[in-house]
Structure 1
Amino acid sequence: MKKIFTLFFIISSLGFQAQDFDTLSLDYYLPKNVSYNADIPKPQDIIGFVPGQWHVSHDRLVNYMSKLAEISPRISIENRGTSYEGRPLLLLTISSEENIRNIDQIRQQHKALVEEGSANLNTKEMPIVVNQGFSIHGNEPSGANAALLVAYYLAAAEGDEIEEVLDHTIILFDPSFNPDGLQRFAYWANTNRSANINADPQDREYDEVWPGGRTNHYWFDLNRDWLPAQLPESQARIKTFHKWYPNILTDHHEMGSNASFFFQPGIPSRTHPLTPDLNQELTQEIGKYHAAAFDKLGSFYFTEESYDDFYYGKGSTFPDINGSIGILFEQASSRGHAQETDNGLLTFPFTIRNQFTAALSTLEAAKSMRVKLLNYQRDFYNNARSSAGKGAWAFGNEKDATTAYHLAEIMKRHQIEIHPVAKEFSKDGQTYKPGSAYIIPKNQRQHRLVEAMFEKRTRFEDSLFYDISAWTLPLAFNVEYTEDAPLDHAGAIIEELKQPAVPSVEKSSYAYVMEWHDYNAPKALNMILDKGLRARVAMKKFGTKNKEYDYGSIMIPVQNQKLDKEELFDFIKNVAKTANIEIDAVGTGLTSGINLGSRFFVPIEHQEIALLVSEGITPYDAGEIWHLFDQRYDIKVTKLNTRNFGRADLSRYTDIILVNSWGTALDKNDTEKLKTWIKNGGTLIAYRNASRYLIANNLLDIKTKSDPITAKNISFEQRSDFYGAQGIGGAIFEAKLDRSHPINFGYKNDRLALFRNTTIFVEADEQSYNNPIQYTSDPLLSGYISEEKNEEIKNTVPFKTGGFGKGKVIYFTDNTNFRAFWFGTNKLLMNAIFFGDYM
Structure 2
Amino acid sequence: MRFCSLLRLLTLFASFTASAQVADSYYLPQTVQFNAAIPTPRQHLGYQVGEWHVSHDQLVGYMRRLDELSDRITLVEYGRTHEKRPLLLLTISSPQNQQNIDRLKAEHVALTDPTRSGSMDVTKMPAVVWMSYSVHGNEASGTNAALLAAYYLAAAQGPAIDSLLNESIILFDPCINPDGGNRFASWVNTHRSQNLVTDPSSREFSEAWPGGRTNHYWFDLNRDYLYQQHPESQGRMVKFHEWKPNLLTDHHEMGTNGTFFFQPGVPTRVHPLTPKRNIDLTTRFGQFQAEGLQAIGSAYYTQESYDDFYYGKGSTYPDVNGAVGILFEQASSRGHAQESSNGLLTFPFTIRNQFTATLSTLRAARAMRTDLLNFQRDHFKEVNQDAVKAYVFGGSNDRVRTWEMVNILRRNQVTVYELAKDEAVDGKTYTRGNAYVVPLSQPQHRLIRGMFEKRTTFQDSLFYDISAWSMPHCFNMPYAEVKAPVALGARVDANAFPKGQVTGSSNYAYLFTWDSYFAPRAAGELMRKGYRLKSASQQFAAQLPGQNNPTKFDYGTVQVIANGQDPAQLRTLLTTLAERDGVDFYAAGSGMTPEGIDLGSDNFKNMRQPKPLLVVGTGVNSTDAGEIWHLLDTRVNIPLSTVDMAQMGRVNLDKYNVLILVSGDYGNLPTDKIRQWVQNGGTLVTMTDAVKWASDNRLSTAKLRRVPADTVGTRPYADYERYTGAKAISGTIFQTRADLTHPLLYGYKDEMLSVFKDNNVFLEKGKDPFGAPLWYTPKPLISGYVAAPNERFIRDTPAIIVNNFGAGKVIAMADNPNFRAFWYGTNKLFLNALFFGNQIGSYGRGVSEEN
Is the Cα contact below 8 Å between 1:513 and 1:586 reproduced in 2? yes
Q: Which residue of 1 aligns with 2:355?
A: 356
Q: SS where residue 365 of structure 1 aligns?
A: helix
The question of 1:559 aligning with 2:560 is answered no
1:579 aligns with 2:581: yes
One-letter code aligned to 1:613: V
Secondary structure of the 2:300 match is coil
Identity of aligned residues (%): 46
Match of 2:802 in 1: 801
Is 1:688 equivalent to 2:688 in the alignment? Answer: yes
- Give 3-state SS (helix, strand or coil) of 1:717's partner: helix
Amino acid at match of 1:224: R
Please list, as runs of the form range in 1=range in 2, the aligned pairs for 1:83-232 lying within 5 A after superposition: 83-117=81-115, 118-232=117-231
The residue that corresponds to 2:848 in the other structure is none
The 2-side partners of 1:789 and 1:486 are apart by: 37
CA contact (8 A) 1:424 1:432 kept: yes
Q: Which residue of 1 aligns with 2:722?
A: 721
Correspondence for 1:528: 526
Using the TM superposition, give the Cα deviation of residue 770 of structure 1 relative to its aligned residue in structure 2, in angstroms.
Answer: 2.3
Contact 1:7 1:342 in 2 (8 A): no
Q: Secondary structure at the match of 1:798?
A: strand
1:370 aligns with 2:369: yes
Alignment match, 2:329: 330
Secondary structure of 1:439's counterpart equals strand
1:549 equivalent to 2:553? Answer: yes
Does the 8 A contact of 1:401 with 1:437 survive in 2? Answer: no
1:7–1:344 CA contact under 8 A, matched in 2? no
Tell me which moved more, 632-641 or 421-430: 421-430
Q: What letter matches 1:540 in structure 2?
A: Q
Partner of 1:495: 493
Residue in 2 that maps onto 1:621: 624
- Normalising by structure 2, we get a TM-score of 0.95
Shift of 1:505: 3.8
Aligned to 1:483: 481
Please give the residue correspondences for 1:586-625 in structure 2 after superposition, counting only pairs within 5 Å. 586-591=588-593, 592-625=595-628
Match of 1:817 in 2: 818
Rounded to whole Å, the distance in 2 between the matches of 1:171 and 1:789 is: 47
Q: 2: distance between equivalents of 1:430 and 1:632?
A: 31
In structure 2, the residue matched to 1:469 is 467
Distance in 1, matches of 2:137 and 2:495, equals: 33
Contact 1:271 1:309 in 2 (8 A): yes
Question: Higher mean Cα deviation, 571-580 or 426-435?
Answer: 426-435
1:437 aligned onto 2:435:
yes
Q: 1:293 to 1:432 in 2, by over 3 A?
A: same
Question: Residue 740 of structure 1 corresponds to which residue in structure 2?
Answer: 741
Structure-2 change in CA distance of 1:786 and 1:488 (3 Å): closer
- Give the corresponding residue for 2:633: 630
Shift of 1:278: 1.2
Corresponding residue SS for 1:376: helix
Distance 1:174 1:209 in 2: 27
Shift of 1:387: 3.1
Letter aligned with residue 695 of structure 2: I
Correspondence 1:373-452 to 2 at 5 A: 373-383=372-382, 385-387=383-385, 391-452=389-450
Q: Distance in 1 between matches of 2:12 and 2:360?
A: 19
Kindly indicate whether the alpha-carbon contact (under 8 Å) linking 2:692 and 2:704 is maintained by their aligned counterparts in 1: no
Q: Give the counterpart letter for 2:684 in structure 1.
A: L
Task: Report how far residue 437 of structure 1 moved.
Answer: 2.3
Structure 1 residue aligned with 2:451:
453
Query: 1:297, 1:466 → 2: CA distance?
Result: 30
AA aligned opposite 2:531: L
Within 1, Cα distance between the matches of 2:224 and 2:20? 39
Q: How many residues are treated as equivalent by the alignment?
A: 828
CA displacement at 1:11 relative to structure 2: 4.5
2:671 paired with 1:671: yes
Partner amino acid, structure 1, of 2:84 = G
Equivalent position of 1:775 in the other structure: 776
- Greater Cα offset, 408-417 or 299-308: 408-417
Check conservation: 1:733, 1:782, Cα contact below 8 A.
Answer: yes
In the alignment, structure 2 segments of 5+ residues that lack a partner are 543-548, 841-851
SS in 2 for 1:201: coil
What does 1:27-38 correspond to in 2, within 5 Å?
27-38=25-36
**1:539 equivalent among 537, 555, 563:** 537
Native 8 Å contact 2:772 2:802 kept in 1: no
Contact 1:19-1:197 within 8 A present in 2 as well: no
Once the 2 structures are TM-superposed, how far is the Cα of residue 713 of structure 1 from its aligned partner? 6.4
Q: CA deviation at 1:236?
A: 1.4
RMSD over equivalenced CA pairs, Å: 1.7
Letter in 1 for 2:603: F
TM-score normalised to structure 1 length: 0.96
What CA distance in whole angstroms lies between the structure 1 residues aligned with 2:21 and 2:709? 58
Distance 2:483 2:83 in 1: 42
**Number of the residue aligned with 1:3:** none
1:391 to partner: Cα distance: 4.4
Q: Is the 8 A contact 1:146 1:352 kept in 2?
A: yes
Task: Say if 1:89 and 1:179, in contact at 8 Å, map to a contact too.
Answer: yes
Partners of 2:444 and 2:20 lie apart in 1 by 52
CA contact (8 A) 1:421 1:439 kept: yes
Name the amino acid aligned to 2:615. L
Structure 1, unpaired ranges of 5+ = 1-5
Alignment equivalent of 1:79, drawn from 65, 77, 80:
77
Secondary structure (helix, strand or coil) at the match of 2:77 reads strand
Q: Which amino acid aligns with 1:108?
A: A
- Does the CA contact (< 8 Å) of 1:774 and 1:796 recur in 2? yes
- 1:650 aligned residue (639, 649, 653): 653
Where does residue 254 of structure 1 map in the other structure? 253
* Structure 2 Cα separation of the partners of residues 505 and 755 of structure 1: 37
Identify the residue that residue 846 of structure 2 maps to in structure 1.
none
Once the 2 structures are TM-superposed, how far is the Cα of residue 641 of structure 1 from its aligned partner?
A: 1.6
Instruction: Report if aligned partners of 1:424, 1:489 keep a CA contact under 8 Å in 2.
Output: no
For residue 482 of structure 1, report the CA deviation from its aligned partner. 1.2
CA apart distance, 1:501: 4.0
- The one-letter code matched in structure 1 to 2:668 is L
Shift of 1:447: 1.1
Match of 1:307 in 2: 306
